[in-house]
Amino acid sequence: MNSEGPGGARNESQDNGPREDQLDESTHRLHPAAMLIGALKTARQWVGVLVLPGGALLVNQGFSVRTIFLIIAGLIVVAALAAVWGFLSWRATSYVVSGGAFHLRQGVIQKSERTIPLDHVQSVDTVQGVVQRIFGVVEVRVETAGGGTNEPDASLSALSRAAAGTLRREIETSRHKPTDADGEESGPSVVRRLTTRDLLIAGATSGQIGIAVSLVAVVSQFFDDLFSNEFVERVVTTFAPRSVTAVLLLVVVAGLFAWLLAIGGTVLAHAGFTLARDGDYLYIRRGLLERREATIPLSRIQAVRVVEGILRQPFGLAALRVESAGYGEDAGVSTILFPLLPRQEVEGFLRAAAPEFAGEPSLERLPRRALRRYVFRAMLATIPLVFVVSAIAVIGLFSGFTAPGCGDAGCAAEDFSWLAFEIPAALLLVALLVFAALYGWLQYRDAGWAISDSRLFARSRLLSRATAIAPRRRLQSRSIVSSPFQRRLRLATLQARVASGGGGAEVRIVDLDAPAAGTLADRLGPDPAP
């Protein structure tokens, strides 16, 4: 019985798979380090299952000699069984490239074979974790063009670099390999490397402090779950700041810590970032502790986004992301092509890496009448904050608050103690509305579009300013949307979608001139049939 997997991958049972006598010397096995990697993975799973029973045993029996002996004996049994399972898994796993397909056999108890046609292979990526680095091996992940899950379509936990390179060449046999003067195949040529200085700048300007704050929040939640409420209250009472200066200092320290975490996360993810190109394929190598090597076929890139973060734009810096069709959720809808480079070097970088997306034409601005809609939408987003501030002011007004110097009998009629709440609240509301209006104006100023050499350029701003580049032939659909409010001002929104990840990615131009939107949609449409 066969079942089709993502991208045409096929799982076959033992009866339908190749027989043992069909396996010849061309069939390969994993590196022996796979036995240890498999054993560690199995032991980690089993230990996770036994944590609760072991904890209950310690609570009931205490740290007696018998209890400690039982725990140690249990760990020895788990290690022994995991080692046996790791050996059996290694012995049962084999792979071969033959008949225009990649075949992976695995399974200790239930044998199975996964068959992936070579023309459905999206990429052959490698990951080198800490354990793999110790043994000088890599994990190879085979992705298909229809991937849509967190797991790769096929994974080989441990191959030597030579074996991984050989497998990649066998799978990519349909690709034309450039040759040097001697007629031999040449390897990928490096397009750009991320220097240590740029890596630290990328971390400092990544704007991912929110992620670090979330991590701190998760740790604090774990702290709350681990300790009793009385203990937490005692710690808070002891160490809580007792002055405004101490609170401000604590906020600064927490922000600095979150900023350092963001820098550390960027260094771990992008250390040694190298982009290379070989024919119609791009290769990305990155990572400090876990080294990753990813393959991006140029034919699968649907759009490129030039992202200028709010901390990077003043310094003329940007990051490049690609929208790639067929990648699963693990790769994300958007994949980093290069984490940091000067904005003026983007066009030259794309000419070397992905020429189809290179170009920087002058953008058409939106009509002046669209400005009011951008400002209105930005101010509309502040309504929740305006409501909160107003509620606080009203509560303060009717809470019996008295100004300094007023007695228990209240203040004199000429004493306007309510101003202690109303004036700061009014100033805060005005500041919010002014900030929102400026933000809307900034969104309007940065928005623009252009068509050059059958490519759509669309620039917009949320927090970061992003310029999307999508060739016309990559567009899956295009549509024009016009609300009643837009029609009153003769405006419309153009929406163009490209294939990317699991659900696609959208390029939007909001509030452009309605007749121009219709003309633009026609220019982006398919060529008329002859």
Quickly list DSSP for 149-183.
Answer: SSS-SEEEEEEEHHHHHHHHHHHTTTSPPPB-TTS
Residue 231's pLDDT is what? 62
**Is 264 among the domain residues?**
yes
Residue 392's pLDDT is what? 65
C-alpha torsion angle, residues 323, 325, 328, 331 (rounded to 10):
-30
Residues 362 and 452 occupy one common structural domain: yes
Among 242, 270, 298, the domain boundary falls at 270
How many residues does this entry show for the chain?
530
pLDDT in tens, 387-412: 776 676 666 555 544 444 455 555 54
Name the DSSP class of 401. -
Residue 194's pLDDT is what? 95
Residues 282 and 358 occupy one common structural domain: yes
Residue 276, beta-bridge partner list: 190, 283
Structure tokens at 51: 């944590």
Residues 373 and 498 occupy one common structural domain: no
**Is 156 among the domain residues?**
no
pLDDT in tens, 33-55: 999 998 888 888 787 667 666 66
Mean pLDDT (the chain) is: 78
Residues 324 and 459 occupy one common structural domain: yes
Helix segments in 127-243, DSSP class H: 130-135, 161-171, 196-204, 209-226, 229-239
Helix, coil or strand: residue 408: coil
Q: Are the C-beta atoms of residues 471 and 298 closer than 8 Å to each other?
A: no
CA distance 158 to 35: 9
Residue 367's pLDDT is what? 94
Residue 219's pLDDT is what? 57
Residues 362 and 389 occupy one common structural domain: no
**Is 135 among the domain residues?**
no
Q: Is 206 exposed, middle or buried (0-12, 13-18, 19+ CB in 10 A)?
A: buried
Number of domains in the chain: 3
Residues of the chain scoring pLDDT < 70 = 1-26, 48-49, 51-63, 145-151, 173-187, 208-244, 246-247, 326-334, 389-390, 392-425, 500-504, 527-530
Residues 388 and 249 occupy one common structural domain: no
pLDDT in tens, 188-202: 899 999 999 999 999
**Is 103 among the domain residues?**
no
Residues 256 and 382 occupy one common structural domain: no
Residue 151's pLDDT is what? 66
Residues 347 and 297 occupy one common structural domain: yes
Residue 330's pLDDT is what? 39
Residue 375's pLDDT is what? 94
Residue 273's pLDDT is what? 95
**Model confidence, pTM:** 0.73
Let me know the angle formed at the C-alpha of 306 by 469 and 506, rounded to the nearest 5 degrees: 50
Residues 385 and 437 occupy one common structural domain: yes
Among 213, 244, 270, the domain boundary falls at 270
**Is 231 among the domain residues?**
yes
Residues 282 and 265 occupy one common structural domain: no
**Is 112 among the domain residues?**
no
CA distance 26 to 468: 46
**Is 291 among the domain residues?**
yes
**Is 482 among the domain residues?**
yes
Residue 372's pLDDT is what? 93
Residue of 185, 183, 144 lying closest to 278 (CA atoms): 185
Domain that residue 393 falls in: 369-402+416-445
Helix, coil or strand: residue 359: coil
Distances (CA, A) of 55 to 49, 75, 82, 324: 11, 14, 21, 47
Q: Are the C-beta atoms of residues 146 and 6 closer than 8 Å to each other?
A: yes
Residues 295 and 359 occupy one common structural domain: yes
Among 239, 255, 270, the domain boundary falls at 270
Residues 287 and 351 occupy one common structural domain: yes
